Amino acid sequence: MLSVFFGDREDVIDNPEDYFNGMHALGNYSFMSDPLIKAIISDVDQSEVLDNCLIKSPVLGLIPPMMLSGGVKTLIDIYLEPDEVFNASYCGNNCAKWILKIAENQDITIRLGHTMNFGEQPFKIRIENNGLIVTKMYDFVQQSHRIMFEV
């Protein structure tokens, strides 16, 4: 299940892009062969994984995983380390469906500093700040706004 925390707290990994770069600085990218990670890279960055260390980007040409977008790096962080709380405001709305997909098989908590759009399909998200469970975007927006702007 997906839990969302709005705002800031101590245990959040605030810069998941830097975290990704640091964790994989020695070049062990064996996880790149994971079908879900390949699908994320294809969908979000429109890039193709040719090899664990080599990706074909339509804009940048042949690139190493270190040059993936901040959104993709954050999704990979969340997927590989579900016990950590990552700042998912590095992710655009095109990452939202992947966050829900990752949360289908494992419990994850993400931090948001904005209202991510999870789309029109029903979902189940627990708001950590107040314990409420929301199932549609309108309720998610109202809770997010109340916590971030009115409290």
Partner 1 sequence: MVGKHKVIIESKSIVYELEIKRNITIIKGDSGRGKSLLVDLIVRYNREKRNAERGKKNGRSVSITCDKECFGYRQFDNDSRSWSDILREHTDCIIFLDETCWFLNTTEFASFVKHSDNYYVLITRENLKGLPYSVSEIYEMYSYKSYDGIIEKHKTGIKNLYSDCSVFSGYSVKPDLIITEDEGSGHDFFESVCIWKKNGVKCISARGKDKIVSRIVPVDGQKTVIIADGAAYGSQMEDTMESMRACGGYTLYLPESFEYLIIRSGIVAEVIENYEDIVYHTYDYADSGKYFSWERYFTDLLTKKTIDTEWKYGKNRLNSIYKLVRNMRAILESITGIDFDR
Where are the strands (E) in the chain, listed by range? 2-6, 12-13, 48-51, 54-57, 61-63, 85-87, 108-112, 125-127, 133-134
Stretch that binds partner 1, among 29-37, 45-53, 78-86, 100-108 (CB under 8 A): 45-53
Token pair in block for residue 129: 């700040």
Q: Does 1 bind partner 1 (CB under 8 A)?
A: no
Q: Does 37 bind partner 1 (CB under 8 A)?
A: no
Give residue for tokens 């839990």.
3
Token pair in block for residue 135: 């199932």
Q: Does 146 bind partner 1 (CB under 8 A)?
A: yes
| Least distance between partner 1 and beta carbon 149 (Å) | 4
Q: Does 113 bind partner 1 (CB under 8 A)?
A: yes
Return d(Cα 48, Cα 43) in angstroms, integer.
9
Residues whose CB falls within 8 Å of the CB of residue 14, separated by 6 or more in sequence, listed in order: 8, 87, 111
- Letters for 83-102 (x = contact with partner 1 by CB under 8 A, - = none) are ------xxxxxxx-------
Give residue for tokens 């979902």.
123
Say how many C-beta atoms besides its own lie within 10 A of residue 24's C-beta.
Answer: 19
- Compare residues 62 and 107 and give the one whose CB is closer to partner 1: 62
- The footprint of partner 1 on this chain (CB under 8 A) covers a number of residues equal to 38
Q: Does 137 bind partner 1 (CB under 8 A)?
A: yes
Query: Which position among 3, 13, 14, 84 is part of the footprint of partner 1 (CB under 8 A)?
Result: 14
Binding residues for partner 1, per CB under 8 A? 14-15, 17-18, 21, 44-47, 59-61, 69-72, 89-95, 113-115, 117, 136-138, 141-142, 144-146, 148-150
